Structure 1
């Protein structure tokens, strides 16, 4: 048994570090969400809604994002039609937690690790805002393609981007990069 622990030590350290980081960050995020109580949307999701609205307005879009009174969501009105809802799961924090956990598990030197986590998280956030804005416009024009756009294409884009960031990290900056 000891032979296998020594043989698979790098893998076991990666898995242990990944899951410990993931569980810790998820716990912290759940604590953050619980601080808003019931009936109030969290600040990050509201910020995502505000930034999505500002991005769409940059392109002279007729867009308004309001708190949905019947549930914890933000309604996106595009050309005076309710097109989509932004819920807590749309704020990309779970994707950022996954990204950060992987980077920490494959961490290198402290300074590059911290900068890559901050930069990657920022880019994931910006990509998510762009994703919601583009999804809004596409759902307005092609509401029948909701499942394809929201359920397949856009998750593929955001998770594909995270995967590319992971590949760059492992091959260029992690302690395993050669």
Structure 2
């Protein structure tokens, strides 16, 4: 019986992940431009713009601009190129992973849909805040780039997503019953 549940979980997880990933890949193919001129997908550009808005709200002199030589958006603090937002930074990949888990470990249809929406919005917001935090920390402490980008930065988003999963399993999924 337990093997059946594990196999069903894995099938649901990988099927939903694959379907969502295919849709996202098609979106990227339609919206990104590579070549002589680079243009990021609108969601990546929007994340950079919203990060700029957050930092501007806190009094930082920040601008963003499409990188001329790669598929990224530059974040410029006090006239200095400090960080960049790439496709992997826009939170969509982690949201896809989050939703696939929720689908694979379902609750009621209503709870599953609502939690997927609310969780996705929260992940998106946390992501904007983490990029803002990283940008300022890189501006102030450029010698700590490896620690900040490779440890602290992923810990924030993956840790938050993990907490959402734990909450889902213990409070809202059918598993709690």
TM over 0.5: yes
2:139 match: 140
Match of 2:12 in 1: 17
* Root-mean-square deviation (Å): 1.0
Task: Please give the per-residue CA displacement for 1:1-54, whole angstroms capped at 9, x wherever unaligned.
Answer: xxxxx5511111000000001111111100000002533210100110111010
Where in structure 1 do 4 or more consecutive aligned residues deviate above 3 Å? none
Whichever of the two has the greater Rg, that structure is 1
| 2:76 is the alignment partner of 1:81 | no
SS in 1 for 2:64: strand
Match of residue 25 from structure 2: 30
Report matched runs for 1:98-177 at 5 Å: 98-177=97-176
Question: Which ranges of structure 2 fall in alignment gaps of 5 or more residues?
Answer: none
Partner of 1:49: 48
Distance in 2 separating the partners of 1:57 and 1:157: 22
Structure 1 stretches lacking a partner, 5+ long: 1-5
Displacement after TM superposition at 1:133 (Å) = 0.4
How many correspondences in the alignment? 173
CA distance in 1, matches of 2:46, 2:86: 12
Residues of 1 paired with 2:3 and 2:69: CA distance?
51
Distance in 1 (CA, whole Å) between partners of 2:115 and 2:99 is 9
Does the 8 Å CA contact 2:102/2:168 hold for their aligned counterparts? yes
Q: TM-score under structure 1 normalisation?
A: 0.94
1:59 aligns with 2:54: no
Contact 2:31/2:40 (CA < 8 Å) preserved in 1?
A: yes
